[in-house]
Structure 1
Amino acid sequence: MQNQSFVTEFVLLGLSQNLNVQKILFVVFLFVYIATIGGNTLIVITILSNPALLGSPMYFFLAFLAFLDACYSSVFTPKMIVDFLYERKTISFESCMIQIFAEHFFSGTELIILTAMAYDRYVAICKPLHYSSIMNRRFCGILMRVAWTAGFLHSMTQILFIFQLPFCGPNVIDHFLCDLHPLLELACTDTHIFGFFAVANSGFFCIITFSLLLVSYAIILFSLRTHSSEGRRKALSTCGSHITVVVLFFVPCMFVYTRPPSTFSSDKMVAVVYTILTPLFNPLIYTFRNKEVKNAMKKVWKRLVVVSDGK
């Protein structure tokens, strides 16, 4: 079926129609975006410049997660920040499709990486004697390729659904980004079947993966009974950080994508959490209680200070 769209652009209503509020939001989200990119970039540089950390699967995946968070945030936030300066906010049809593709590509890839990180913790805690043989470099590379491939296939499936839909007006989206549900409501055709596919592709994907992660962490917590108090403390610290990130990522995902295509007034606030705040919080959560990363960051920071002083 060929797309018979007459719409060449969409009008975004954004987070607020009040110009004074938009000026405040411009400053707030500009600061959030700078902090997000700075925090995640610092994690990537810290791990890549430290052979000891880079050789650990946990930190290898953490560096990749930080890179994905920086990319994921960049899909939406710069456009939203610039839009705060304009009364009329528009996005071309092509840019809208690119935004949807990039959103699902990076989020799908991140979903697999979070699963890989949970498996890494499971092997480290439940099978410590076999950890180095199981989580070897070759296997980590395979998990990385699986993550990229899964993210690509997931996003391609979503974008192919959207391209089948005709858009002939209206073209106003009550959101600050292009997303599946608002677009399905604007389509000039019955979208019940497409809505079912969207839920099956994104919603069930989130639910199944989240359930697997919960089961894996239940097994990990159960196995900690046989560990020493120091071992339990260290394991719980690492797992607690990961569980927090998983909840921040999956709960909004399930709220948005496990229901029939419809838009709620709360959708924009939920979208702010998973598109803007989660990529900001992830580096803070992972480094706040991690002495190894914090010490490595201090060394990187000292090197940067020495280099800047030398100039």
Structure 2
Amino acid sequence: MPKLSIIIPCYFNEANIPVTMQALVANEARFPPEVTFEYVLVDDGSGDGTVGALHAFRQQQPGKVRVVELAGNVGSYNAIVAGMAHATGDCNVIITADMQDPPELMVQMYAYWRQGIKLVIGNRQDRREDALTKLLANLFHSLMRRFALPNIPSGGFDYVLFDVQIREHIVRLQERNSNLFYLMTWLGYPYVNIPYVRSRREIGRSRWTLSKKLKLFLDSFLAFSFFPIRAISAVGISLGLIALIYGVYLVFLRLSGVQEPAGWTMLMVVLLFVSAFQMMALGIIGEYVWRGLDAARHRPLYVVKAVAEPTL
């Protein structure tokens, strides 16, 4: 009997949990009768009553629910890896706790898995959010497709169903400062893409702040692309060629007896421009170096405070 593990990272989702869990349990009826379910709920250091809501659901669904409490907030991607490490299903689904993704799409995802597809992606074809959020999200995913991972679907995704084999790869890699979902496509398995429209969040407020979005962009881009380093080299070569041409021009003026232009203003502009570029280049290189240092320290992605196993 195939088991489906549903992994849900939770962070300040106290009000969402009862509604989300009710919808997920109701969704079980859409699956073939032979499928069994496991819910792996990971509390990512929430400061509200999320843990209590998770344990209440565990008592309501005996034998199905595993609650993993992390010692501190480590970010949703690391929390998902913690959930993957504790999952036991033959296939797995990652879904958010805020009910913006349709649970009924899991049935179609599962059908593809039964056909032998190891990775099924629920792709956000559109989202019911404000124009600025959609613009920034589309720009982010366009840059990733253009300069890092051309095989990812447009529009972004964080709603996936994947085989136990992919789960084992991800848990074994323990990759930090990266993008968990892009890492799944990087593994190289063929995938099926199912487009859908993401709903607006109805309960609570998002903790997905601008600073977290910027960090995700940097982590994703630097983890899968060397374009920034190559861009630094290209700009450096271009500036060197410009300096060489300008130097030849000044030598020509000196040999011709023409008075050289004073050019103090131009000299200062060039100096400031080159200095700014050097600082930017050092910053980009520093981001790569810091990520290498962070990986070399081998600190754990998360620390588990407690695990509540399914009740019998």
- Richer in strand (by share): 2
Question: TM-score normalised by the shorter chain: which range applies?
Answer: under 0.3
- Richer in helix (by share): 1
Q: Which has the higher contact order (CA 8 A, sep 6+)?
A: 1
* TM-score, reference length from structure 1: 0.27
Q: Which has the larger radius of gyration?
A: 2
